[in-house]
Amino acid sequence: MSWVAILMGSESDWPIMRATTEILERLGVDFEAKITSAHRTPQATMEYVLDAQRRGCDVFVCAAGLAAHLAGAVVAHTVKPVIGVPVDSGPLSGFDALLSTVQMPGGIPVATVAVGKTGAKNAAYLAAQILAVSDEGVAEKLRADREENGANVNAQNERLQKELSS
């Protein structure tokens, strides 16, 4: 069974990364969420990544706050897809996290999404799309979610048009 591991360096990342879990739940994708630090608990982080792979994890989603780089530490121990979510914190409002996540050396990719909560949501969607390559059930849920999003935009436009014509 495929599933997604969501890793955070500290509990301060949880308010952002909760959005990842909400999307995955809505799409019916199994996941685990864990606090582990690339710098403060490097051995435990490595052990978790190796164990998660043995248990069938197919995608890792990692929060990165400040210039800490959990996604880079995780990808060092796996060839599974790793998605980095730059957290909008600190004096640079996530710009440092964005750069530390996106600037990986050649051959060691980390997919990087937007900074903050939008990135946390998109990380869930991207993880689900990766799983959908071999899971038609996830693919169908993604298609339904896109259709629902489109219907919401159409409804918003209808409300705007009614307001403008009044």
pLDDT value for 65: 87
Per-residue pLDDT of the chain (166 residues; tens, 9 = 90+): 899 999 999 999 999 999 999 999 999 999 999 999 999 999 999 999 999 999 999 999 999 888 778 999 999 999 999 999 999 998 999 999 999 999 999 999 999 999 999 999 999 999 999 999 999 999 999 999 999 999 999 999 999 999 999 8
pTM of the model: 0.94
Q: Is 3.40.50.1970 the CATH number for 3-135?
A: yes
- Angstrom distance (rounded) from CA 2 to CA 46: 20
Phi, psi angle pair for 91, to nearest 5° = -65, -20
pLDDT value for 68: 75
pLDDT value for 105: 94
pLDDT value for 145: 97
pLDDT value for 35: 97
pLDDT value for 15: 97
pLDDT value for 64: 87
Q: Which two tokens stand for residue 8?
A: 């955070």
- Angstrom distance (rounded) from CA 74 to CA 3: 16
